[in-house]
Each structure stands twice: as structure tokens, then as C-alpha cells.
Amino acid sequence: MAKRSSESLPWSLFGAGGFVVAFLFPVHILLLGIIIPLGWVAAPSHAALLGLLHNPLTRIYLFGFCALGLLHAGHRLRFTVSDMFRLKHLDTLLGVLAYGAALAGIVVTIVLLISV
């Protein structure tokens, strides 16, 4: 019987984060970085955005948006550094650092979403 890998959870989060980064980040960049600043669409008021942020579905979406993106970045960073600098012997340490940084970012995301 083949040995089962413990990498399935990180790989699935990497895949979900890749989807978020590939499909949702460009939409946010297009809207918030190009369309609204150029005046093609009227900018929403501060009160409207704050009201939208108080909706629990918006908070869940923003949490998933940030958390999956951070986990994707952590996974990609771990393997890029390991392969580029030939640090396979430090794979565990790199994993702890990369995923630890991603988890720290997720904690900051949770704190910010709760405090608003």
C-alpha cells in the first residue's frame, strides 16, 4: 500500500487560493484601481461601503478572499524559496515560516473584520 501524503490540505488551499488570485483579485483591481478612479463609475459613499461591510456575507467573502490569497502566497513562497535556493533540507522550517506568516495575516484579517 502506498504511503499517504499529508500535503492534501495545503494543496487544496493552494488551489482554492489560486482560483481567488486568478479570478477575483483582477476584478477588485479593475474596479477599485482603474474604473472608479477614472470616474467611469461613480464612487460609492463611505456610508454605503460601511453599510455593505456590516453585512455578514460581505465579511465572510472578504475573509475568504484574504485568507485564501494569503495561504496561496505562503504555499507558493515556501516551494519557490525551497527550490530556488536549494533549501530542501529546511523544508519544515520554511513551511512553518511561510504558513505562519499566512496565519498571522489571517489573524489580522479577522481582527480588522471584527473591529469594523
CATH of the domain at 71: 1.20.1300.10
Q: How many CA atoms lie within 13 A of 94 on its CB side?
A: 19
- The per-residue pLDDT for 1 is 65
Is residue 90 included in any domain, yes or no?
Answer: yes
| Residue for grid cell 460601511 | 50
What confidence tens digit (pLDDT) does each residue in 53-76 have? 999 999 999 999 999 999 999 999
Mean pLDDT, rounded, for 6-17: 85
Q: What 3-state class would DSSP assign to 85?
A: coil
Mean pLDDT, rounded, for 33-45: 96
Is residue 108 included in any domain, yes or no?
Answer: yes
Residue 99 confidence class, pLDDT cut points 50, 70, 90: very high
Count structural domains, the chain. 1
Of the candidates 59, 62, 55, 58, the residue with the CA atom closest to the CA atom of residue 25? 62
pTM of the model: 0.87
Is residue 4 included in any domain, yes or no?
Answer: no
The parent domain of residue 34 ranges over 10-115
How far is Cα of residue 2 from the mean position of the Cα atoms in its chain? 33
Judged against a pLDDT cut of 70, whether residue 90 lies above it is answered with: yes
DSSP state for residue 88 in the 8-state scheme: G
Is residue 48 included in any domain, yes or no?
Answer: yes
Residue 8 confidence class, pLDDT cut points 50, 70, 90: confident
Judged against a pLDDT cut of 70, whether residue 31 lies above it is answered with: yes
Is residue 3 included in any domain, yes or no?
Answer: no
Is residue 5 included in any domain, yes or no?
Answer: no
Round to whole Å and give the CA distance between 80 and 61. Answer: 28
Is residue 15 included in any domain, yes or no?
Answer: yes
> ∠ at Cα 66 (65, 71), nearest 5°?
105
Residue 10: CB atoms within 10 A of its CB come to 18
Is residue 1 included in any domain, yes or no?
Answer: no
Round to whole Å and give the CA distance between 84 and 106. Answer: 26
Q: Is 113 exposed, middle or buried (0-12, 13-18, 19+ CB in 10 A)?
A: middle
